[in-house]
Chain A
Amino acid sequence: AQSVTQLDSHVSVSEGTPVLLRCNYSSSYSPSLFWYVQHPNKGLQLLLKYTSAATLVKGINGFEAEFKKSETSFHLTKPSAHMSDAAEYFCVVSLYGGATNKLIFGTGTLLAVQP
């Protein structure tokens, strides 16, 4: 079965310091993985996606994620946090097969950025 586990419900960093949001996945086959960001009372915006091409995926706003099959991880990183990065981040795996095509969401990590 497909699932994702986000290891931290809350992460707090200082502006200008690195960001690390952790995600582990479970999949019976090579997964498609995504990170989405949700700002307060807004919709979801796609940050990046992995679909079995390069294992290091670059996204928008300076974010990137590395797919590590041996560790079943897909952690999201950014070298230097900005105040505008404060939001909730969701790690997502795609369940695709048969007649379905749905996204399985993690429980989210709330990122706070301190000045």
Chain B
Amino acid sequence: NAGVMQNPRHLVRRRGQEARLRCSPMKGHSHVYWYRQLPEEGLKFMVYLQKENIIDESGMPKERFSAEFPKEGPSILRIQQVVRGDSAAYFCASSPGRSQETQYFGPGTRLLVL
């Protein structure tokens, strides 16, 4: 049973470009979460999605960031017009349902903005 998959593992972008980060949840999981880890900090919640719905986006920056989890395909975290401060590790997690079940994390995408 494959775990949570994220790609790319590493992404380099120049300021002003767009970054697209993909997350495929574990088989049977319909809930996806995105977290950001800035250098030498803990993880911070960004957004919680179910298929075709954003449930909680209270941790998303107001501008340039968006997330989706379509009916088919992976969840996408999109960052438009990246700036150096967006450089971080972005982790995706998934769970089978909402309750208080464990969230399983992917290996992360490390974004570097030049």
**Chain A residues within CB distance 8 Å of chain B:** 32, 34, 36, 41-46, 49, 51, 90, 94, 96, 99-108
Distance from A30 Cβ to chain B, minimum over Cβ atoms (Å): 10
* Residues of chain A contacted by B108 (CB below 8 angstroms): 42-43
Count the B residues whose beta carbon is within 8 Å of the partner chain — how many? 28
Enumerate chain A residues within 8 angstroms of B58, measured Cβ to Cβ. 100
The B42-78 residues at the A interface (CB cut-off 8 A) are 42-45, 48, 55-56, 58-59
Interface residues of B (CB under 8 A from A): 4, 31, 33, 35, 41-45, 48, 55-56, 58-59, 91, 93, 95, 98-100, 102-108, 110
> Can you list 14 A-B pairs with a CB-CB distance of less than 8 A?
A42-B107, A43-B106, A44-B91, A44-B105, A49-B102, A96-B98, A101-B48, A101-B56, A103-B33, A103-B45, A103-B103, A104-B45, A105-B43, A107-B41
